[in-house]
Structure 1
Amino acid sequence: MKTKFYKYQGAGNDFILIDHTHSTLEHTDNQFIEDLCHRRFGIGADGLMFVTKHENYDFEMYYFNADGKLGSMCGNGGRCIVAFAKQLGIIERETNFLAVDGPHYARISENGEWVDLQMIDVNTITKDGEAYVLNTGSPHYVTIQNNLKDFDVFSEGKKIRYNQIYSEKGINVNFVEDQGDHLFVRTYERGVEDETYACGTGVTAVAMAIAKHKNQTGHIKTDIKVLGGDIKIEFDYDGANFTNVFLCGPAKLVFEGEVN
């Protein structure tokens, strides 16, 4: 039997998407998902998502990392799945859908290639030395790094992700450099176990960590550059709670095909 798939990318974070609205998702072949995400022997992607039916929401999002395992929330994946839902005719310009970390609201541009995705509120940030640790739907470690363009993100990120504190559950490791009018961010992602071109929950965590680091409050807008392009983050911060959080960026169809 052949399965139709669609390949999307959001600021270089790329995903395989499959329409599963015709039935409930009861079983997944994790090895098959890992094989599809392999960049030499499969389609190639940072993760795979199923769009499924839900009686109380427009749809439900199931996200699997490139290692084939069910993942935590993926922000850029969330934006891509909204664009996919529009392509499928499930939604038009706005949606309320369900993900692993709860309900999400999103709005999409008329051409379907720019998505503003509301993320969860965050009220807890801790410190690990000089680094910030927080959960924006996925757990993140944020550290400030000079000369980030030439920094060895893979090696240094892997050390932190697999150290004694984080190795059991894993953590995504974000390195950020303040370049004046924007933040430059590079991320080592658990589940992918490599640097990715973008991480939506990661850049959200970075924007929050820098706001706390700088003692900023009010309505904050942050422009962020990643290896795959530009992303914008907006939120309200009162010094303790981050609310009305939006991850905004591109979500584009790359190609489609069929797999056995």
Structure 2
Amino acid sequence: MKFTKMHGIGNDYIYVNGFEETVQNPSEVAIQLSDRRFGIGADGLILILPSDVADCRMEMFNADGSIGKMCGNGIRCVAKYVYDRGIVQKDVLRVETRSGIKTLQLRIEDGKVSSVRVNMGRPALKPEEIPAHFNKERIVDEEVQTASGRVWRITCVSVGNPHAVAFVDEVGGLDLPTIGPEMENLPIFPERANIEFVQVLGPHEIRMRVWERGSGETWACGTGACACAVASVLNAKTDRDVTVHLRGGDLHIFWDPNTDEVFMEGPAAFVFDGTVEI
């Protein structure tokens, strides 16, 4: 099978051109190839497929084989792949995902995509839409307790995936391999959740680390950055125009007060092409 390794600020995936290749049992393939010691190494597998309703379709599988509805960094790489490889050469691209059709604006320099701005749509804030079991209209700065007894205050948002955001004084020293699984598997999350920890640096600047369900700590998460920006506004910690610093780089997030839509902009990059036996 031919594949391409790509990343969006360190959030790396294995991409397969579904216009030319057919992947049987993609969940199993994602587990096999994502392994960083015995496989190619990635946060998961993304298939780029034909679509009847958009320019192309994205199917995402996490490193543990579970299906992801949406990936903000992954979809930027899809846009770069289809444009730079001549599959769909439009500077405004529509991509079908499991969380709906997303519209992307491509910044082109010297005939190649340098960055992508994605309309991520309106954030879901009602517990049943996230989904989360909670008897309030919104989960904003609410207290939860993990199995180990530690208490956190979280704000929950869905931007295609469920996210729980916790604000901390400093993100660098957190033991995410211990904290992340406990938070991800809280009983209130029927489909588990991505967990973000946010350090506020100013009204237009935050730093975050992320524990992604199905992948563990990753260097970046596009939907998570959007969720953190929304949570920061809901908790009156930042304005709606925010630069988010992640381990792999920066994303620019804007939550439009007029349309309620969240826009994310950032780079996408090729790493290498290859072939692998399945």
TM-score (norm 2): 0.85
What aligned pairs does 1:26-37 form with structure 2 within 5 A after superposition?
27-37=24-34
Report how far residue 88 of structure 1 moved: 2.3
Identity of aligned residues (%): 32
Q: 1:232 aligns with which of 233, 246, 252?
A: 252
Find the counterpart in structure 1 of residue 235 from structure 2: 213
Q: Confirm or deny: 8 A CA contact 1:52 1:59 kept in the other structure.
A: yes
Residue 59 of structure 2 aligns with an amino acid whose one-letter code is: Y
Identify the residue that residue 8 of structure 1 maps to in structure 2. 6
RMSD value over aligned CA atoms?
Answer: 1.9
Deviation at residue 123 of structure 1 after TM alignment: 4.6
Give me the whole-angstrom Cα distance separating, in 2, the residues matched to 1:57 and 1:151.
41
Q: In structure 1, how many angstroms separate the alpha carbons of the residues matched to 2:113 and 2:51?
A: 22
Letter matched to residue 268 of structure 2: A
Partner of 2:18: 20
Aligned to 1:115: 116
CA contact (8 A) 2:205 2:238 kept: no
Deviation per residue, 1:182-221 (Å, 9 max, x gap): 10000000011x111001110100000001111877xx21
Q: Write the distance in 2 (CA, Å) between the matches of 1:91 and 1:31.
A: 29
Contact conserved, 1:23 with 1:52, CA < 8 A, in 2?
Answer: no
Moved more, 97-106 or 153-162: 153-162
- Residues 1:140 and 2:140 aligned together: no
Q: Secondary structure of the equivalent of 1:134?
A: strand
Of stretches 183-192 and 149-158 in structure 1, the one that deviates more from structure 2 is 149-158
| In 1: Cα distance, 2:238 partner to 2:243 partner | 15
CA distance in 2: counterparts of 1:164 and 1:98, whole angstroms: 31
Rate the CA distance shift 1:216–1:42 in 2: closer, same or farther, 3 A: closer
Could you tell me which of 201, 204, 217 is aligned with 1:179? Answer: 201
CA contact under 8 A between 2:194 and 2:210: conserved in structure 1?
A: yes
| Residue 126 of structure 2 is aligned to residue 106 of structure 1 | no
Q: By how many angstroms is 1:116 displaced?
A: 0.8
Deviations 1:13-60 (A, max 9, x none): 0011000114777x4242222110111000111011111111221101
How far apart in 2 are the matches of 1:56 and 1:113? 26
Long gaps (5+) in structure 2:
126-137, 144-152
CA contact (8 A) 1:7 1:254 kept: yes
Return the alpha-carbon distance in structure 2 between the equivalents of residues 189 and 223 of structure 1.
20
Match in the other structure for 1:163: 186
Structure 1 runs not aligned, ≥5 long: none
Partner amino acid for 1:258?
T
Q: Deviations over 1:131-156 (max 9, x none)?
A: 10111100000010112111212211
